[in-house]
Amino acid sequence: AQSVAQPEDQVNVAEGNPLTVKCTYSVSGNPYLFWYVQYPNRGLQFLLKYITGDNLVKGSYGFEAEFNKSQTSFHLKKPSALVSDSALYFCAVRGPSMDTGRRALTFGSGTRLQVQP
């Protein structure tokens, strides 16, 4: 079974400082990893994904994530946080199955990012 852990319920950072939201995963085979963001009363917005290739993935709104296979981690990062980045962030994983019926995402519990002005 696949699983995702987001060890921090909340991350607080000052505007302009770098931010990191942590994610570790467990899956059989090579992982497909995703980050989504959820703003209040909104759906989940796709930020970025890792499929294969470069371990540093760049996504929307200046976010990036670093895939580390040995540590089974996929931490979300941003060099300079904005107040508008305050939201709920979800890491998700799925396995590399060719079967269209095995591509449902398993989500972490979410991390609330609070950026203070």
Partner 1 sequence: DSGVTQTPKHLITATGQRVTLRCSPRSGDLSVYWYQQSLDQGLQFLIQYYNGEERAKGNILERFSAQQFPDLHSELNLSSLELGDSALYFCASSPGTFTDTQYFGPGTRLTVL
32 three-state secondary structure:
strand
Range 83-112, binding partner 1 (CB under 8 A)? 90, 98, 100-110
> How far is residue 88's CA from residue 81's CA, in Å, rounded to a whole number?
14
Q: Candidates 7-15, 22-30, 32-40, 66-74: pick the segment binding partner 1 (CB under 8 A).
A: 32-40
Instruction: Kindly tell me which residue out of 49, 75, 77, 112 binds partner 1, with binding defined by CB under 8 A.
Output: 49
Task: Report which residue type is found at 110.
Answer: G
Please say which residue, 15 or 44, places its beta carbon nearer to partner 1.
Answer: 44
By CB under 8 A, residue 34 contacts partner 1: yes
Number of helical (H) and strand (E) elements in the chain, helices listed first: 0, 12
